[in-house]
Amino acid sequence: MERVVVIGCGGSGKTRLARELARILDAPLTQLDAVYYDERWTAASPDDFAARQRTLVAAPRWVIEGNYAGTLPIRLAAADTVVFLDLPAVTCLWGIAQRRWRREAGRVNWAFIRYVVGYRRQMRPRVRELLGAHGGHVDLITLTSRRQANQFIERWPSGVRPPVD
C-alpha cells in the first residue's frame, strides 16, 4: 500500500479512514475537497483540477481521499490500492449530522442530502464501472459498515503497515 485512493459517499467516513491510513502508512494525505475548492468554496476549473491530481499521483507514496468520479481514472491509473466505503445512506446521513454537530464544516444542502440518499443507486454503479475500466490492477478493499472500517484500521498497531485483504 503505497498509493491509496479512498472513495465513498459523503458522510461514509472517508476523511477519518484516510487520515488514519496516512498516519499508519506514513504517507502524505490529500483531501480532494481542498484541491477542488478554495477558501471561499469556489471550484477549480476541470482542467486545473485534473492537472493538480496528475501532479499529486506522480509522487511515489500518497493517500488521496475524495470521490470526484470525473477524475477518478487519473487516481486509479496510479493507485495500487482502493478503499471503497460502501455504506448505507442512513449511516452516511448520520455521519454528516455528527460532523455538523462537531464543527461547522462544508456545505450541506438539500441537493447534497439527495445525493447521499441516491448514492448507492446512482453513483455506486458509476464508481464500479470506473473501477472495472481503470482499476483492474488495484487491490480493492470494500468496507460496508463503520464496524468494518474501524476494524480495518484498528487491526494494526502504530507503525505497522496494514496488509491488503
Question: What residue segments make up the domains of the chain, in order of their start?
Answer: 3-154
The CATH number corresponding to 3-154 among 3.40.430.10, 3.40.50.300, 3.30.70.20, 1.10.10.2840 equals: 3.40.50.300
Query: Cα–Cα distance between 105 and 94 in angstroms, integer?
Result: 15
Q: What are the Cα distances from residue 141, in Å, to 14, 29, 48, 104?
A: 13, 18, 29, 31
pLDDT of 80 above 90: yes
Q: What is the pTM of this model?
A: 0.87
Q: What is the pLDDT of residues 96-154, one digit of tens each?
A: 877 655 555 556 677 878 888 888 888 899 999 999 999 899 999 999 999 999 999 98
